[in-house]
Structure 1
Amino acid sequence: MRLHSPILSSLAYHRIISSFRPISSLQRPADVIAPMATSEDSLRRALAEKQSTIDASGNAIRQLKSSGASKTDIDEAVKALNALKLEKTSIETQLKASISGDANGSVLSREAFRQAVVNTLERRLFYIPSFKIYRGVAGLYDYGPPGCAVKSNVLSFWRQHFVLEEDMLEVDCPCVTPEVVLKASGHVDKFTDLMVKDEKTGTCYRADHLLKDHCKDKLEKDLTITSEKAAELKHILAVLDDLSAEQLGAKIKEYGIVAPDTKNPLSDPYPFNLMFQTSIGPSGVSPGYMRPETAQGIFVNFKDLYYYNGNKLPFAAAQIGQAFRNEISPRQGLLRVREFTLAEIEHFVDPDDKSHPKYSEVENLNFLMFPRDLQMSGHSAQNLRLGEAVSKGIVNNQTLAYFIGRVYLFLTQLGIDKKRLRFRQHLPNEMAHYAADCWDAEIESSYGWIECVGIADRSAYDLRAHTDKSGVALVAQEKFAQPKEVEKLVITPIKKELGLAFKGNQKMVVEALEAMSEKEAMEMKGGLETKGEVEFEVCTLSKTVTVTKKMVTISKEKKKEHQRVFTPSVIEPSFGIGRIIYCLYEHSFHTRPSKAGDEQLNYFSFPPLVAPIKCTVFPLVQNQQYEQVANTISRSLTAVGISNKKDITGTSIGKRYARTDELGVPFAVTVDSTSSVTIRERDSKDQIRVSVDEVAAVVKEVSEGRATWDQISKKYPAHTSASADE
C-alpha cells in the first residue's frame, strides 16, 4: 500500500515534475535550448531558469523521500532531475563557447593553445625572459637567433612598404629625451596609469587591470550570474579607460577585489608616471627621461625636415627605435613590456586639404571595420569598403584612410590572418580633444583583440605645443600668386584671468580654447556677448567649466596676405613591432600528426617574407660527395641573398624536416645525388626535383614572391619518395 504525505502527494508530485520534464528522451539537450537561446544574454537567462527548475526538482525529490513515496516514483524523479542537469550542462557549454569564441565551449582552450605557442617559442629560442639565470625581470625579454631574424625581416619589409614606397624621410633620434620636450608634449603631466598597492606587502598592481580581470573572470567562469549583472560588468569593461581614480577605487571596493597573490586589502588608486626618469650629465641638474615613444624626435625636427623637403607639403618622416615604459605590472609576454620597438610615421599635411594622390590605390579594399556607431549599438565589426567608409564620413579624410589601407596590406602580407584583423574606431571618450579621428588595427590572439597599430589624425596639436614651449615657429607656408584678402579667426585666451579661475588646470583650458573649430568659437563669441558667460567642455578635464568675457577674446580680422602661414596637421600611424610579431607567431602556429601518427608536430607557416631562415640544405646521408654539393648550394643561396642553414647531422631526414618546420623554414633542399636535388615546401610537404645549378634561382624566385609554389611545382617534376614525409 502506497503511503501519502499531507505535504506532497504522489499525484501532486507528478503534476510538478511534468512541468520540468525533458521534452523527449530522444532529443539532445542542445536541440531543446537552441531555438530559445542564441545570444549570451539569452543563454544566461536560460541557465538561470534551468537552475531554478533543478532546485525545485531537488526539493520535490526530498519531499518525496520524506513522505515515504514509492521507489518507482523517486527513481522516476531522479531520472528527470539528471536529464535536467544534462540540459544545464549543455547550456553552460554553449555559454562558454559564446564567451570564449571556441566552438567546443572550452574557456581553457585559448590558454592551452597559448602555452603550446610560448613553449615552442622559448624552446626554439625565438625569445626568452631577460636575465633568466637571475630569475629574470618582469616585462623584459631577449630575442634569440630566430626571433632576431623574424624581427629584422618585419622591419625590413616595413621600411620597404612605407619608407621607400611612400618616399618618407627616415630619422634616428636619441632614446634619452630632455624633460622640457616631454613637458611640452604632455607626457610629464599626463603619461600615467592608476596604481594600487597591497597594504601589507607594498606590491604594486595596475588598478584597471585588476578590475578588468575581475569582470572577465566573472563573465567567463561564473555562469550563474544574471544577464543584468553580466550587462553591468560588460559596461564597466567598455568604459574602463574613462573611469576616474575615485570611480575605479569605488568599484574595486564594491566588488571586494583584493591583492591577487596575498588576498590582502588594496590602497586607493593613485597616478603613477610610466616614464623611466634619468639625469643628463654628471651634475644631475638636467632631468631627462627614456622616451616613451619615438614621435617627439620627429616633431622637434619638423623645421629642418620641412626645409630638407624643399619647403613642400605633404611629406612624411619615419623612425624605428626603442621606447620605454615602466609598466606597473607587466604581463602577457611580448604584448606588454618595459622596453619595446616602435615604428612610427608622422605624415604632415595641409589641414585644409587632406586628400591623398594615391587614395585610389586603396579605396576598393574591403575588410573588417568597427566604427564607433556599431560599437555603441552593441553590434559586431562588419566588412566595409574603405572608399565607402570615407564617402559616408565614417573615416574622417582620404589621407587617414590611405594609411589605414596601407596598414591593412602591410599586416596581411606579413602573414596576419585577414579574418582576425579589424580596424576599430576610437569612441568619443577615448579621443583626445585635439584629434580629428583615430583607428586601431586590432589583431585577435589568445589574449583577445590586441591593439597593434594606432592610426590617428592628431590635427596640429603636437607642432603647436612645441612651438609654444620652444618659441620656434614650427609652421609651413603657402605662397600666393596674387595677394589675397583673408578673414582670420583669432582666439586669444587671457591667461591671467584663466589662471585666477582655474589655477593648475589653466593650461588644459587654454589648450581646449585654442583648439576650437571656427563654428565652436563663433558660437562661444555669441554666447559671451549676450550672456557674459558660457559653459565650455574641456575634454582633458572630463568636465564642463564656465568661461566669462574676461577670459577670452574671439574676433575675425581681414588682412591682405602674400602667403598663408599655418601649422600642419599630422596623420600618425604607430606600430608596436613586438605585438605584431607575437600575433604573427600565433597566427602562424599549427600542429599536424607525424608520419607514424603517434605524436603531434608543431610548425610555423611563416610567409618566406618574414621566415627566420628561408631554406635549409640537407645531405640525405653522411657522404662526402653529397656534403660538397650541399656546400655548393649553400654558397649559391647566400650569394643571391637567401638565408640558409646546412644540417649534416646523421639524424633521419624526417626528423630534420620536423626540426626546421618548427622554426618556420619554408623550403628544404635535400641532396640525394650530385646532379639534381629535391626542394620541399613546408606547408604542403610536396617536393620537386631541380638541377643543382637551378636551386638558388628557384628558391629566390618563390621566396621573393615573384612566383608561387604552385607555379614553380608545375615547371619541375614531382618527387615522391618514401623519405619525403615525416
Structure 2
Amino acid sequence: MSDRISEKLTELAKRRGYFFQSSGAYGGVGGFYTFGPQGAALKGNVEDAWRDRFAIAEGHMEIDAPTIMPEPVFEASGHLETFDDMLVECPECEESHRADHIVEDETEYEDAESLPVPEVEEIIAEYELVCPTCGAGLAGAAIEDFNLMFATNIGPGDSQPGYLRPETAQGIFVEFPRLKEYARNTLPFGVTQIGRAYRNEISPRRSIIRTREFTQAELELFVDPETSEPDLTLVEDVSVRLYPATEQQADDGSEVETTIGDAVADGTIADPWIAYFLGIAQEWYASVGVDTDRFRFRQHLAGERSHYASDCWDAESEIDGNWIEIAGFAHRGDYDLSKHQEYSEERFTVFQQYDEPKTVERAVVDPDMSYLGPEFGGDAQAVVEELETLAGRDRAAFEGETVDVEFGDETHEIPVEKTGFAVEEQTEAGEHVVPHVIEPSFGVDRLVYTILHHAYREDEVAGEERTYLDLEPEVAPTFVGVFPLQSDDDLEDEAEGIAAALRAEGLSVTYDDSGNIGRRYRRQDEVGTPFCVTVDYESLEDGGVTVRERDTTDQKRLPIDDLPETLSALRAGEVAFEDLDEE
C-alpha cells in the first residue's frame, strides 16, 4: 500500500477538501495550491501548535512582516547572488528542469544539489540522462544558475525594484534595530513569524511538497556567542535518529540512534543550540502526528549548506520511500546582522554591559582633515572610515611612515602622521555585540502533507473496506461530528443543540444529517474526525448519546450534559476514550 499512498492521498485531498491545484477553472497553474476547508483548518491547527511550542512556551515574540521587500534587502542578504538552482533546458522540447533532481531521480546520487555544476554535467553525460518530458538526451546541455526570487516593482512610474520574500527570516532581520528595544537589549531573545514565502521553482512537483508559494514558521534566536547557552537538561534524554555528514560520506554509513545528551557529548551535534531545538522538535513533531519511525535529522554536507550557515541539520520525513525536508535548523552566525549593518545606516548590535568596568587599549585615529580634504575631496569621510576600520583590525599597518588604504579600485598611501593614529587606554562599561542567529525554520505545507501521509490508513469494518486518517486530536480539522440518527424534527433539534453547546466549548464541530449513519461515519473517518456523537430516540428519554471513536470504531453511551467537558478532556489528552465510564 505504501508506494501508492501519495496517489490515493491526492485524490482524497481533492475529494474531501484538503488541497487541490489552484485556478482549476483556467486550467490550473503549476506550483500553486489552494487549501480547502479541511486543509485550511488542519494547517491552521498545525500553525497554532507550532506557535504554542516555539513562541509562547519559549517566551519569544512574534511579528508579521510584509511579503514584498525592496531590492537592497536582498542585495545585503546575498539572495541576489546566491539564491540559485541548477536549470537545464531540453534541446528538443525546450522544457526546463532542475538538473540536480534529474540526477537524484535516475542515479544513486542522493544530494546532487551539493555538487558543483561541472560535476552534475558530467554525471548527466555519463548516465545518458534524458528529459523527463520528451525523453531527449540531455548530455551536452548547459546547466545555468537560475535565481528563484519573484521580482516585482514597488509603486508606479520610476518604481523601486522589489522581490517577494523567499523566506520570512529577512523580515525579522531588517527590523532588528527596533526589535532589540522591545527585548530591552537583553540576549538571548527570539522572534518568530508564520507567513508566506515565494520561490520561482524550476519544476514544482509532488503536489504541496514543492510549490512556488508556501508557508513557513520560523524562529530567529539572537544569542551572545560568548555567554548564551541553552538548558540542555530539558532535552538531553530525548531519543533521536541522526544522519551525520560523516555517516553520509562513509561507504558503510548509516543513521545513528542516540539521545540529544549523548550526541552533544560525543560531538555528533557540535552546537548546543541546534541540539536544544532538535530535542524540542523531535517531541513536537510526534505530538502533531509525524510517525517517528519515519523521521530523522540529517546534517547538511559542506557543499549544500547555505552561504550563511556554519552548520545545518534538516528534519526529514519518509514519504513513499523517499526522504523529504520538512524543517532546517541552522547556525547562521552573525552573517545576516553584519550584512544589514554594512549595507544600511543602522546599528545591528546589542550593548552588553560588563559586570565591572574594564580598562582596555584601543587603536584610534584622528585624521588631519586639512590634508585628507584636498587630497580626496568628497571621498575624505569614506577614507576616514577605512582608516578607523584598519586601526581596529591591524595596528601593525601604522608602524611605518605611510599606511596603505584600499579605497575604490585603488590603494592609496597616506602618511601615518596625517592619520592621528594612537593607542589609548580606555575604560569601558561594556561592548557592542553583533548577535549570532540560531534558526529553526519549518515548512508548514510539507508538514501538513507529512501528517496526512503518515495518518493514512486502510482497514475493514463489518466486512467493508474503510479509509481513515489517524490524525491527532490537537490538529484534526474537525474534532467531533454530531448526527441525528434519522430525519426527525425532535432528533434534529436535540442534535443541533448539542452541536451548539460543543462549539460554545471551543470545539470544532460538523453537523451531518445526510444519508445513513454508516455512510456519515465513513465520511468523518475519511477526513480524520476523532469522535462522532449520534442522537437517537433513547436520547430524548434518558439524556444519553452514543459516542464513537474513530480508530477502533468503539462506542460508548455518555450523558449529554457531560459531553462538553468530556470531549474537551479527550482533546486535551487528559483522559483516554477507553477509560471513560458509560452512564
TM-score for both structures, normalised by structure 2: 0.86
User: Residues 504-523 of structure 1 correspond to what in structure 2 (within 5 A)?
Assistant: none
Say whether 1:609 aligns with 2:474.
yes
User: Partners of 1:174 and 1:186 in 2: how far apart?
Assistant: 19
Query: Residues 629 and 375 (structure 1 numbering): CA distance in 2 closer, same or farther, change over 3 Å?
Result: same
Query: Residues 429 and 621 (structure 1 numbering): CA distance in 2 closer, same or farther, change over 3 Å?
Result: same
User: Partners of 2:2 and 2:573 in 1: how far apart?
Assistant: 33
More helix by share: 1
Determine if contact 1:668/1:679 at 8 Å carries over to the other structure: yes
Say whether 1:178 aligns with 2:70.
yes
Tell me which residue corresponds to 2:520.
656
| Paired residue secondary structure (1:662) | helix
TM-superposed CA distance for 1:486, in Å, is 5.0
Say whether 1:429 aligns with 2:303.
yes
Say whether 1:289 aligns with 2:163.
yes
Say whether 1:688 aligns with 2:556.
yes
User: Partners of 1:408 and 1:648 in 2: how far apart?
Assistant: 41
Structure 2 residue identity aligned to 1:681: E
Q: Which moved more, 1:460-469 or 1:385-394?
A: 385-394
User: Partners of 2:324 and 2:361 in 1: how far apart?
Assistant: 46
| Paired residue secondary structure (1:617) | strand
Q: Which moved more, 1:367-376 or 1:118-127?
A: 367-376
User: Residues 174-573 of structure 1 correspond to what in structure 2 (within 5 A)?
Assistant: 174-215=66-107, 234=108, 236-238=109-111, 240-266=112-138, 267-356=141-230, 358-377=231-250, 378-432=252-306, 435-446=309-320, 448-485=322-359, 560-573=427-440
Deviation sequence 1:173-200 (CA, Å, 0-9, x none): 1111111000100001111111111223
User: Partners of 1:402 and 1:362 in 2: how far apart?
Assistant: 6
User: Partners of 2:282 and 2:424 in 1: how far apart?
Assistant: 44
Deviation sequence 1:228-270 (CA, Å, 0-9, x none): xxxxxx3x334x1232222222222232223222233443111
Determine if contact 2:242/2:258 at 8 Å carries over to the other structure: yes
Structure 1 residue identity aligned to 2:341: T
TM-superposed CA distance for 1:430, in Å, is 2.6
Q: Flag structure 2 segments of 5+ consecutive residues without an equivalent.
A: 365-388, 397-412, 414-422
User: Partners of 2:287 and 2:454 in 1: how far apart?
Assistant: 13
Structure 1 residue identity aligned to 2:123: K
| Paired residue secondary structure (2:357) | strand
Tell me which residue corresponds to 1:37.
none
Q: Flag structure 1 segments of 5+ consecutive residues without an equivalent.
A: 1-108, 216-233, 491-513, 515-520, 526-549, 551-555, 718-726
| Paired residue secondary structure (1:148) | helix
Deviation sequence 1:68-108 (CA, Å, 0-9, x none): xxxxxxxxxxxxxxxxxxxxxxxxxxxxxxxxxxxxxxxxx
Query: Residues 289 and 201 (structure 1 numbering): CA distance in 2 closer, same or farther, change over 3 Å?
Result: same
Q: Which moved more, 1:625-634 or 1:318-327?
A: 625-634
User: Partners of 1:436 and 1:612 in 2: how far apart?
Assistant: 39
Tell me which residue corresponds to 1:105.
none
Structure 1 residue identity aligned to 2:544: S
| Paired residue secondary structure (1:458) | strand
User: Partners of 2:424 and 2:100 in 1: how far apart?
Assistant: 48
User: Residues 7-18 of structure 1 correspond to what in structure 2 (within 5 A)?
Assistant: none
Deviation sequence 1:340-393 (CA, Å, 0-9, x none): 00011000000112412x432211111212222222223221221101111222
Tell me which residue corresponds to 1:618.
483
- Number of residue equivalences: 523
Tell me which residue corresponds to 2:386.
none
RMSD over equivalenced CA pairs, Å: 2.2
TM-superposed CA distance for 1:110, in Å, is 4.2
Say whether 1:639 aligns with 2:504.
yes
User: Partners of 1:489 and 1:705 in 2: how far apart?
Assistant: 62
User: Partners of 1:298 and 1:558 in 2: how far apart?
Assistant: 37
TM-score for both structures, normalised by structure 1: 0.69
User: Partners of 1:569 and 1:197 in 2: how far apart?
Assistant: 40
Q: Which has the higher contact order (CA 8 A, sep 6+)?
A: 2
| Paired residue secondary structure (2:110) | helix
Determine if contact 2:481/2:509 at 8 Å carries over to the other structure: yes
Determine if contact 2:77/2:339 at 8 Å carries over to the other structure: yes
Determine if contact 1:460/1:568 at 8 Å carries over to the other structure: yes
| Paired residue secondary structure (2:341) | helix
Structure 1 residue identity aligned to 2:493: Q
Deviation sequence 1:154-190 (CA, Å, 0-9, x none): 0111111111111111111111111100010000111
Determine if contact 1:298/1:346 at 8 Å carries over to the other structure: yes
Determine if contact 2:547/2:556 at 8 Å carries over to the other structure: yes
Tell me which residue corresponds to 1:699.
567
Structure 1 residue identity aligned to 2:42: V
Structure 1 residue identity aligned to 2:468: Y
Structure 1 residue identity aligned to 2:204: P
Structure 2 residue identity aligned to 1:679: V
Larger gyration radius, structure 1 or structure 2: 1
Determine if contact 2:39/2:477 at 8 Å carries over to the other structure: yes
